[in-house]
């Protein structure tokens, strides 16, 4: 399996409004609490998946450390 380098994700909690897209784009690494806010299960994710998830976050709350 081709592997991309890892990246560290973080959530700007002030910006996050719980759209939940990150849980779709980063399944396993991000799950949602009962209000729809992300729970980061793993900060480290493959870099390409991370940058796609950052791009797709509607609140622009997901970022790379």
Partner 1 sequence: MTDLLTMLDEAGLTGRGGAAFSTATKVRAAREHRAELIVNVCDGEVGAAKDGWIVEHHLHELIEGAGLVAGDGTRRAVRYAAHRGSRTASLLAAAGLGVLEVPHRYVSSEETAVISAAHGGLARPMTKRAPFVFGGRDSQGRRIAPTVVLNAETVWRVSQVARFGPRWFRSFGTTDEPGPRLVAVGGHVPRPGVYEAAAGVALSDLLSLAGGLPPDARHVGVGGLGGVVLTASAALSTIWDTPGMKRHGGALGPGIVTVWDPYACPIDVAGELIAYGAGESAGQCGPCMFGLPALSQAWGELGRRPGVPAQERLQQRLSLLERRGACHHPDGVARFAASALGTLAAEFAAHADHRCQKERRPHAQFA
Pick one of 4, 6, 15, 27: the residue that binds partner 1 (CB under 8 A).
15
- Part of the chain binding partner 1 (CB under 8 A), chosen from 5-13, 21-29, 46-54: 5-13
Question: Using the rule CB under 8 A, is 47 a contact of partner 1?
Answer: no
- Part of the chain binding partner 1 (CB under 8 A), chosen from 1-9, 14-22, 48-56: 14-22
What distance in Å separates the CA atoms of residue 47 and residue 12, rounded to the nearest whole number? 18
- Going by the DSSP 8-state scheme, the letter that residue 11 receives in this structure is E
What distance in Å separates the CA atoms of residue 50 and residue 59, rounded to the nearest whole number? 15
Closest listed residue to residue 54, CA positions, set 29, 3, 2? 29
By the criterion CB under 8 A, which residues form the site for partner 1? Answer: 10, 12-18, 33, 35-37, 39, 63
């Amino acid at each position: 399996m081709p592997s991309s380098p890892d990246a560290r994700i973080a959530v700007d909690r002030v910006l996050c409004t719980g759209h939940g897209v990150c849980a779709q784009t980063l399944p396993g690494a991000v799950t949602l609490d009962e209000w729809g806010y992300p729970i980061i299960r793993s900060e480290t994710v493959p870099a390409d998946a991370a940058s796609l998830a950052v791009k797709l976050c509607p609140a622009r709350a997901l970022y790379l450390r």
